[in-house]
């Protein structure tokens, strides 16, 4: 079958002319025309909807991704602020809790605990200098101390309300002549940040 399309005049586009032309078609041609019209209507309706739906889906994905990035950024800021607060608190503690006379502090703690007589020796140690902090340290030896007394003494040292005191190199040996009594040695140190280091960080 051969179709020839010539120039169309405007009046032929009127509905009555279109309808008359439709009636002039054979049944087969009418069927094809209806199918073609239906396809055009479907495309005219669903193609814009499909494009709009695709755009909305893409927009929703972008919004979800941006919300995720924002939450991650907020968590990062919170973590940074927490670490900054902890560092500032640590710096304040190191600045005010330094003990330059550890031996006197230990004697005072032992005296309050009633075990001053158990102190065999308190010997200050020479500490290698550091660019970051100052440190003092004392080697402690205790004789004939009970386990309960030792635990209480060490707890009071580590939890001193004003001083930063840290224990290290703890050695405990039961005595041969009395299994309930112990000979103990350990070191106690105190720290503070060096002033020149703090000034360097602030500049």
Both tokens of 90, joined, read 């640590």
What is the arithmetic mean of pLDDT over 143-147?
93
pTM of the model: 0.51
pLDDT in tens, 36-75: 766 766 766 666 666 666 666 777 777 777 777 777 777 7
Q: List C-alpha distances in Å: 59 to 50, 54, 56, 65, 68.
A: 14, 9, 5, 10, 14
pLDDT: is 39 or 113 the higher one? Answer: 113
Q: Is residue 113 domain-shared with residue 196, that is, in the same domain?
A: yes
173 domain residue, yes or no: yes
- One-character DSSP codes across 88-141: HHHHHHHHH---S-HHHHHHHHHHHHT-GGGEEEEEEE-----SSEEEEEEEEE
pLDDT in tens, 115-139: 999 999 999 887 777 777 778 899 9
Looking at residue 7, the DSSP 8-state letter turns out to be P
The crossing angle, in degrees rounded to 10, of helices 102-113 and 147-158 is: 130
Total domain count, the chain: 2
Q: Is residue 64 domain-shared with residue 123, that is, in the same domain?
A: no
Q: Any idea which residue has 């299994």 for tokens?
A: 179
Q: Is residue 80 domain-shared with residue 19, that is, in the same domain?
A: yes
8 domain residue, yes or no: no
pLDDT of residue 53: 66
CA–CA gap between residue 50 and residue 38 (Å, rounded) = 18
Q: Is residue 92 domain-shared with residue 179, that is, in the same domain?
A: no
pLDDT of residue 160: 87
What is the arithmetic mean of pLDDT over 152-173?
90
pLDDT of residue 4: 44
6 domain residue, yes or no: no
Burial of 190 (0-12, 13-18, 19+ CB in 10 A): buried
Q: Is residue 60 domain-shared with residue 142, that is, in the same domain?
A: no
Of the spans 40-44, 67-71, 85-89, 198-202, which averages the highest pLDDT?
67-71
Given a cut of 60, whether residue 156 has pLDDT beyond it is: yes
What is the arithmetic mean of pLDDT over 111-117?
92
Q: Is residue 71 domain-shared with residue 112, that is, in the same domain?
A: no
Q: Is residue 66 domain-shared with residue 110, that is, in the same domain?
A: no
- Specify the CATH number for the domain of residue 141: 3.30.70.60
Which pLDDT band, with edges at 50, 70 and 90, does 87 fall under? low
Both tokens of 106, joined, read 């230990």
CA–CA gap between residue 72 and residue 149 (Å, rounded) = 50
Q: Is residue 107 domain-shared with residue 197, that is, in the same domain?
A: yes
pLDDT of residue 195: 64
Q: Which residues pair with 171 in a beta bridge?
A: 185
- Owning domain of residue 51: 13-96
Given a cut of 90, whether residue 22 has pLDDT beyond it is: no
Given a cut of 90, whether residue 89 has pLDDT beyond it is: no
Q: Is residue 91 domain-shared with residue 156, that is, in the same domain?
A: no
177 domain residue, yes or no: yes
Looking at residue 11, the DSSP 8-state letter turns out to be G
């Amino acid at each position: 079958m051969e179709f020839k399309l010539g120039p169309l005049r405007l009046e032929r586009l009127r509905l009555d002319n279109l309808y008359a032309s439709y009636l002039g078609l054979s049944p087969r041609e009418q069927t094809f025309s209806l199918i073609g019209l239906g396809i055009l209507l479907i495309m005219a309706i669903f193609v814009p909807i499909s494009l709009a739906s695709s755009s909305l889906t893409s927009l929703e994905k972008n919004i979800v991704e941006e919300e995720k990035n924002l939450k991650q950024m907020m968590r990062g800021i919170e973590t940074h602020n927490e670490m900054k607060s902890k560092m500032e608190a640590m710096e304040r503690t190191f600045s005010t809790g330094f003990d330059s006379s550890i031996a006197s502090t230990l004697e005072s703690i032992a005296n309050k605990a009633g075990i001053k007589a158990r102190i065999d020796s308190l010997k200050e140690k020479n500490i290698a200098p550091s660019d970051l902090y100052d440190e003092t340290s004392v080697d402690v030896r205790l004789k004939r101390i009970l386990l309960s007394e030792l635990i209480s003494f060490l707890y009071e040292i580590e939890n001193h309300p004003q001083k930063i005191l840290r224990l290290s190199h703890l050695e405990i040996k039961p005595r041969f002549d009395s299994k309930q009594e112990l000979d103990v040695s350990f070191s106690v140190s105190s720290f503070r940040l060096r002033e020149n280091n703090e000034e360097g960080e602030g500049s």
